[in-house]
Structure 1
Amino acid sequence: MPHQDDGYTFPLLEGITRTPVRYPNRYGLTIAADLYHAADLDLTVSHPGIVIGPPHGGVKEQGPGVYAQQMARRGFVTLGFDPSHNGESSGQPRHITSPELFAEDFSAGVDYLGTLGFIDRDRLGVIGICGSGGFALSAAQVDHRIKAVATAAMYDISGVAREGWQHSSTPEERQKALTDLAAQRWADVDAGEAALSPTFPSAIPDGLDPVTAEFFEYYVTDRGRHPRSIGGFTITSGQAHINFGSLRHLAEISPRPVLMVTGDVAHSRWFSDELFEQAQEPKELLVVPGARHIDLYDRPEAIPFDALERFFAESLQ
């Protein structure tokens, strides 16, 4: 269970207001989110807003809230959300992962912020943490209302599904994966429900590889554990990610600015390095000394909030 009595994995900062909200995405699903702003914010004038997505498999009570309250402290109105079919957001079956839906959830957050009387619709940005980094970039490729994009410890989930870790998959391996997914669909049909990939255990086992051990350090211990963040997704979701592929239109975000934040010892750093090369100006790559992947989920001393404040203050003028 979360180590906060209020169900969150972090304490709410003094002087910050957090309000649970609900709104629809364009598929008619109800998105559960938390709206943050400074308690003394002047609501009679318009402010910039930022939509913040969680790591792949995460929920709003984890990393999104850490980012949201810190950016709210710096004068932004922020929204941390649960992706469709996950957390407290609606959608059946539960625990689908979808590149289309998860990108749409960023646009739905923009929709919601734009309904608030104290938001300037021309000053809206997004932050994607881990897997949401790829989905945030995907949303910005086609949604010109998103004026600036920041990613933190970014993963391109769909790119890995199609091409493997650091593009290591062969065409034969991809076809084998699709054959396995086809068999899984028949298994789901026969069972009457969608099977899930493995979920997080109750305790950290021995003998883990370094990347899995790092994720378990966050999701399985009191640091980040949450009952709605289970780690598993419907297995057949893999078809959508393989079909979607990588971020093919990344360059088209320009001339809107992109900031990619990663750690110099993060196992995911190669995503940011590679996609930064593909992005067009204006763009910025910020490498945090000594930061691992999960340190950019929730460690205020590692997350460069001052740089994020500068980026969005300049981008959302």
Structure 2
Amino acid sequence: MKGLSNLAVASLLFLGQSCTQSINNQNVENMKETAKTEHYTFELSNKVTRQKVTFNNRYGITLTGDLYSPKSRSNEALPALAISGPFGAVKEQSSGLYANQMAERGFVVLAFDPSYTGESGGEPRAVASPDINTEDFSSAVDFLGIQKIVDRNKIGIIGICGWAGFALNATAIDKRIKAVATASMYDMTRVMSKGYNDVVTLEERTKTLEQLGEQRWKDAEAGIFHAGAVLNPEKLKGDEPQFVKEYYDYYRTPRGFHERSLNSTGAWNATNALSFMNMPILTYIKEISPRPMLLIAGEKAHSRYFSEDAYKNASEPKELMIIPNAVHVDLYDNVDVIPFDKLEIFFKEHLK
């Protein structure tokens, strides 16, 4: 946010300028061990069934997801949704909650862990990619479209937080996606390269890239990928920006904590930002048209401007919905704030 130092911005944007741990075989084994834990941050609806599934993306990475479907349904193929996010979260958190709610409303819904995180495959761990994570959405569409209970001509997607940007990018390139909605959107390529509110100067950007280059030398010399600073510490000092406190309140408390979530317990690797620095994912947002988009943001969310700018740059049909008094993380799990009725109406209107 405006007023933060470049160092604070860099650490908050997962640039990982301090190396606190290494991503090695032991870390991977620990992740596999915690993967045995079945813990969801919300209760499964008694109107919904949930089934663990796997599928491969175009890069050969095996993704793991939960398939939600309404218990009461006819033999007719149903409209479907693929959901992921927030950035650094897992399917047992927000995306699963959204899937649970939308399955109650008559959709078949796939909530999935992105490549290199959660229960999904890919090594090294704790890596994100504008290209591969966009592909993750399309591979989720692949999976949904070959299910007998799904009408492949009625598939939409929802992206939350950083995955909202990937959702828009995937929709622009994948014409099989008939409608897209986002919640608390982040454009991760924009925020990593330019900082909050685009305040990072060319000099600061250059310095960050030089630091990332030095980190590559360290990784190469050690033969491992080092991890950056822990995203959300176990305790706050008290002088953090308000939105950092809000992240903490979700990821580090029983409200949203999950063992496999990088935002709850870990960090991206220290060079994670590299591929985000010069790949603007919303370049072709106008090509989503004539398919509809719905952008949802909190009135008091620090991320609100991402949705507003995406709305300005997109072509019709489009809709921007600002939720009064809501902050960024309210759209993660607050079922009294998240406009699920609106999402139901939007997708039932456009997936037909």
Q: Find the counterpart in structure 2 of residue 19 from structure 1.
A: 51
Structure 1 segments unaligned to the other structure (5+ residues): none
Residue of structure 1 in register with 2:20 after alignment: none
1:64 pairs, out of 95, 120, 123, with 95
Aligned partner of 2:176 in structure 1 is: 145
Distance 1:78 1:193 in 2: 37
CA contact (8 A) 2:285 2:313 kept: yes
Q: 1:1-317 counterparts in 2 under 5 A?
A: 6-42=38-74, 44-199=75-230, 200-231=232-263, 232-317=267-352
Q: Which runs of 4+ in 1 moved over 6 A?
A: none
Give how far 1:176 is off. 1.3
Structure 1 equivalent of residue 8 of structure 2: none
Shift of 1:6: 4.2
Task: Give the unaligned 5+ runs of structure 2.
Answer: 1-33
Q: Is the 8 A contact 2:135 2:170 kept in 1?
A: yes
Contact 1:154 1:268 in 2 (8 A): yes
User: Which stretch shows the higher mean deviation, 148-157 or 224-233?
Assistant: 224-233
Give the partner amino acid of 1:50.
L
For the 8 Å contact 2:326–2:337, the answer to whether it is kept is: yes
Worse-superposed segment, 24-33 or 227-236: 227-236
| Percent of aligned pairs sharing the same letter | 46
Q: Secondary structure at the match of 1:244?
A: coil
Q: Give the 3-state SS of the residue equivalent to 1:126 in structure 2.
A: strand
Preserved contact between residue 161 and residue 245 of structure 1 (Cα < 8 Å): no
CA offset at residue 285 of structure 1?
0.5
Distance 1:255 1:275 in 2: 15
1:97 and 1:234 in contact (8 A); partners too: no
Describe the superposition over 1:172-208 as per-residue Cα deviations: whole angstroms up to 9, x where unpaired. 2221111111111111111221111222323344322
Alpha-carbon contact 2:130-2:281 (below 8 Å) kept: no
Q: CA RMSD in A?
A: 1.3
What CA distance in whole angstroms lies between the structure 2 residues aligned with 1:179 and 1:51?
A: 37
For 2:234 and 2:243, locate their aligned partners in 1 and report how far apart those are by CA, in whole Å.
18
Distance, in Å, in 2 between the alignment partners of 1:6 and 1:96 is 23
In structure 1, C-alpha distance between the alignment counterparts of 2:181 and 2:47, rounded to whole Å: 25
TM norm structure 1: 0.96
1:70-89 deviations in whole A, cap 9, x for unaligned?
11011010000000000000
Aligned residues: 313
CA deviation vs aligned residue, 1:120-162 (integer Å, no higher than 9, x gap): 1111000000000001001111100111010000001111112
Is the Cα–Cα contact under 8 Å of residues 80 and 107 in structure 2 kept in the other structure? Answer: yes
- The alpha-carbon deviation at position 246 of structure 1 amounts to 4.4
Q: Given that residues 164 and 182 in structure 2 are in contact (C-alpha distance below 8 angstroms), is that contact kept between their aligned partners in structure 1?
A: yes
> Scaled by the length of structure 2, what TM-score is found?
0.87
Structure 1 letter corresponding to 2:272: S
2:213 is paired with a residue whose SS is: helix
**Using the alignment, how far apart are the partners of 1:226 and 1:193 within structure 2?**
26
Separation in 2, partners of 1:210, 1:203: 15
